[in-house]
Amino acid sequence: MENGKTEKNTSLKLFIVLHLAFKSIDQVAHQHIKAKDMSITEFGVLELLYHKGKQTINNLRQRVLVASSSISYVVNELEQDGYIEKQKCTEDKRVTYIHLTDAGRKMMDSVFPEHQKVIEEIMSDLSDEEKYELTEMLKVIGKKAANM
Query: Does residue 13 belong to any structural domain of this protein?
Result: no
Q: In the predicted model, is pLDDT for residue 43 greater than 90? A: yes
Query: Does residue 27 belong to any structural domain of this protein?
Result: no
Question: What CATH code is carried by the domain that includes residue 116?
Answer: 1.10.10.10
Query: Does residue 6 belong to any structural domain of this protein?
Result: no
Per-residue pLDDT tens over the stretch 117-143 = 999 999 999 999 999 999 999 999 999
Report yes or no on whether pTM surpasses 0.85.
no
Cα–Cα distance measured from residue 121 to residue 26, given in angstroms and rounded to the nearest whole number: 14
Domain residue limits at 74: 38-146
Query: Does residue 21 belong to any structural domain of this protein?
Result: no
3-state DSSP call for residue 96? strand
Query: Does residue 2 belong to any structural domain of this protein?
Result: no
Per-residue pLDDT tens over the stretch 10-38 = 999 999 999 999 999 999 988 989 988 89
Cα–Cα distance measured from residue 52 to residue 147, given in angstroms and rounded to the nearest whole number: 27
Query: Does residue 53 belong to any structural domain of this protein?
Result: yes
Q: What is the pLDDT of residue 71?
A: 87
Per-residue pLDDT tens over the stretch 73-112 = 999 999 999 999 999 988 888 899 999 999 999 999 999 9
- Give the total number of structural domains in the chain: 1
